[in-house]
A and B are shown apart, each in its own frame.
Chain A
Amino acid sequence: MKETAISIRELTKRFGDFTAVDRISFDVYKGEIFGFLGANGAGKTTAMRMLCGLSFPTSGSGTVAGFDVMREGEMIKRHIGYMSQRFSLYDDLTVMENIRLFAGIYNLTPYRTRRRAVELLSRLNFLGERHTLVGALPLGWKQKLAFSIATLHSPEIVFLDEPTGGVDPITRRQFWELIYEEANRGTTVFVTTHYMDEAEYCARVSIMVDGEVRALDTPAALKRQFATDSMDGVFRTIARGAKRAE
């Protein structure tokens, strides 16, 4: 049996009488690139917050990186990486200062910080930019750097919330190559996106509608199931039935 990085059962979150996430269950395997799609307002953000240990589920059970989602939120936070399009790095700090800041937050030793910094920056061909202010970097570089910093503490799972929004088509692809490489090293990648071609880059994809997971399979199997030649077609068929508008 494959080793799981995330395993959740009937996970539910209610706000008053509103059920934002309604009994979702799935496993994400170790080293897998898992696409987490859904219509606006389907409950993706709420579900992701629970998986990242930022919000406790109302009911259900599960583990993320081996820790209990119901009780061990703090432990989960230490064993995952997180990057979103909205917030990634501090513009008024240099590349190296950002690395040191996040290394400090994750309690890395100075020796390990230096080693990881050189490793990540040389992988990105960024060593020459280590004293550049992040605010002066082009957006695409920032996003690649943000991804690397999200994996600074070698987390078992990295959560990416729309990491490529607004990024040019070449950088978007370079970004996905970084994701592939990271997954090849054994890191589990959990990613949301509005670009349907990116859904094709995932090993498996889940699609949420109205708080529920309505479909979950490999892109090829989903396309067969919904008799369409693209993930865009799959998404449209499933999301058109949405009753909730966020």
Chain B
Amino acid sequence: MDVIEINRLSKRYGQVRALDEVSLSVGRGELFGLIGPDGAGKTTLFRLLTTLISPDSGAATVEGLDIVHGYRRIRELVGYMPGRFSLYPDLTVEENLNFFAALFGTHVQDAYDLVAPIYRQIEPFKNRRAGKLSGGMKQKLALSCALIHRPSVLFLDEPTTGVDAVSRSEFWDMLAGLKAKDITMLVSTPYMDEAQRCDRIALCNEGRILGIDTPAGIVSRFDSRLYAVSAGNMFTLLQATRTFEGVDACYPFGSTHHIVAGGNFDAAALDGHLKADGLQDVRIAPCMPTIEDVFIKLMQR
């Protein structure tokens, strides 16, 4: 049996289908990513799996325990880092950690080997109030507190949102360290580039799952030819390319625009067309799809 098993789980808030018949499973020691924008249902799924709310229909188990009937035991086994900072701002770093240890009937020393690689980075500030910490430090304290009772499963809801690119990458390094200790993790993120750090990912949008696979497996699902195009004026280029025959879609992608090519797309003809339109420095070349390209394509279906 997998550590997390979810079978057609649904949850509504009034008219809004926050989660619509979602099914997935996460194996022991897996680092599983929920990738999707706000409103995808990521937080609702976390709140269901951590037994904070009950589903309208469907079922799920965590460590073999039903999320409705086994909630007491589940709460002892899992760690949860909510998207919004939920520690006590008027307690110090050390007091927060001791408090969460006490809640679970344990001591900081008992989990110190697990927490240390993360906690050591903020230990110099242990007497500072949590509310006065920087975003990156708050994140590390929250993760330490979520680990204090040695959970076997860790739920992390958008731990890197609003954090700069360097701190984000450091946070994923910490998760890799926990994975090495056999902790099963479900992590959500709106940043597509973070998908690469997961063993498997689910692409989520508006309460539904668009696809589940390894990052490489997701990318291999992209079944059209893809080109990168650039020119002196990128905005004019976008409009000129979109209306060209054989272009299924054209959208900005970093320093280039990506073209999803239809069956009758002719790169050389587009090159001529753009130059005739007065565009300078036109470059068109085939390129490899990314997870974001797949996401865009699946959203349009």
Q: Do A and B bind each other?
A: yes
Which residues of A19-43 are within 8 A (CB) of B?
A: 38-41
Q: A166-B190, A181-B235, A194-B162 are in contact. List 17 more A-B contacts (CB 8 A).
A: A40-B136, A40-B167, A139-B39, A165-B162, A166-B38, A168-B36, A168-B295, A169-B37, A169-B296, A171-B37, A180-B235, A194-B163, A196-B254, A230-B254, A236-B165, A242-B166, A246-B137
Identify the 6 closest CB pairs spanning chains A and B, nearest first. Answer: A246-B134, A168-B37, A166-B38, A197-B254, A180-B235, A200-B255
Q: Are B292 and A169 in contact (CB under 8 A)?
A: yes
User: Is B135 on the interface with A (CB-CB < 8 A)?
Assistant: yes
A231 to chain B, nearest CB (A): 8
CA distance A184 to B234 in the complex (A): 12
Is the beta-carbon distance between A173 and B252 smaller than 8 angstroms?
yes
Q: Is there a chain A Cβ closer than 8 Å to B205's Cβ?
A: yes
Known A162-B162, A173-B252, A239-B164: A246·B37 in contact at CB below 8 Å: no
Minimal Cβ-Cβ distance residue in B for A171 = B37
CA–CA, A139 to B206, complex, Å?
A: 11
Instruction: Kindly state whether residue A92 has any CB partner on chain B within 8 Å.
Output: no
Could you tell me which residues of chain B, from 156 to 177, have a CB within 8 Å of some CB in chain A? 161-167, 169
* 14 sample A-B contacts, Cβ–Cβ < 8 Å, listed by A number: A39-B166, A40-B135, A40-B136, A40-B167, A41-B136, A168-B36, A169-B192, A169-B296, A170-B299, A184-B235, A219-B255, A236-B166, A242-B166, A246-B135
B253 at the interface (CB under 8 A from A): yes
Inter-chain contacts of A166 with B (CB < 8 A): 37-38, 161, 190
Q: Is B251 an interface residue (CB 8 A)?
A: yes
- Decide if B147 is an interface residue (CB 8 Å cutoff): no
Judged by a CB distance under 8 angstroms, whether A72 is at the interface is no
| Minimum C-beta distance from A206 to chain B (A) | 15
Chain B: interface size category: 20 to 34
CA distance A196 to B299 in the complex (A): 22
A245 CA / B163 CA spacing, docked (Å): 11
Contact B299 A168 (CB under 8 A): yes
* Chain A residues whose C-beta falls within 8 Å of the C-beta of B162 in the assembled complex: 162, 165, 194
Residues of chain A within 8 A (CB-CB) of B295 are 168-169
What distance in Å separates the Cβ of B124 from its nearest Cβ neighbour in chain A?
Answer: 11
Tell me the bound Cα distance from A26 to B107 in angstroms. Answer: 53
B59 at interface (Cβ–Cβ under 8 A)? no
Complex CA distance for A169 and B137, rounded to whole angstroms:
29
Which residues of B, 261-301, contact A by the 8 Å Cβ criterion?
Answer: 292, 295-296, 299-300
> Known: A138-B39, A200-B254, A245-B134. Contact between A39 and B164, CB under 8 A?
yes
Cβ contact within 8 Å between B161 and A170: no
Contact with A along B95-136 (1 / 0, CB 8 A): 000000000000000000000000000000000000000111
Instruction: Say if the beta carbon of A102 comes within 8 Å of chain B.
Output: no
Per-position binary interface string of chain A over residues 207-234, scored 1 when its CB falls under 8 Å from any chain B CB and 0 otherwise = 0000000000001100000000011100
A201 at the interface (CB under 8 A from B): yes
A48 — which chain B residues lie within 8 A by C-beta?
none
Q: Considering the complex, which residues of chain A in the window 184-204 have a beta carbon less than 8 Å from any beta carbon of chain B?
A: 184, 194-197, 200-201
Nearest-CB distance from B196 to chain A (Å)?
12
* Chain A residues positioned under 8 Å from B165 (CB to CB): 194, 196, 232, 235-236, 239
Q: Is B183 an interface residue (CB 8 A)?
A: no
Any chain A CB within 8 A of the CB of B87?
A: no
A39 to B208, CA, bound (A): 33
Q: Which of A170, A219, A232 sits near B296, CB closer than 8 Å?
A: A170
Find out whether the CB atom of A194 lies under 8 angstroms from the CB atom of B36: no
Chain B 136-152 per-residue mask, 1 if CB under 8 angstroms from chain A, else 0: 11000000000000000
Closest to A33 in B: B235
Closest-CB distance, B261 to chain A (whole angstroms) = 18
Find chain A residues with CB under 8 A from B255 CB.
200, 219-220, 230-231
A197 CB contacts on chain B under 8 angstroms: 253-254
User: A39, A166, A230, A232: which has the most chain B beta carbons within 10 Å?
Assistant: A166
In the bound complex, what is the Cα–Cα distance between A180 and B233 (angstroms)? 11
**Chain A minimum-CB-distance residue to B166:** A239
A7-B37 Cα distance, complex, nearest whole Å:
36
Q: Which residues of A contact B190 (CB under 8 A)?
A: 165-167
Q: Does A240 contact B (CB under 8 A)?
A: yes
- Which residues of chain B are near A169, meaning CB under 8 Å? 37, 192, 292, 295-296, 299
Which residues of B lie under 8 Å from residue A240 when comparing CB positions?
166
**Which of A169, A194, A231, A235 counts the most chain B CB atoms within 10 A?**
A169
- A168-B37, A169-B295, A169-B299 known; A40 and B164 CB under 8 Å? yes
Q: Is A56 an interface residue (CB 8 A)?
A: no
Chain A positions within 8 Å of B38 at CB level? 139, 166-167
Q: Does B6 contact A (CB under 8 A)?
A: no
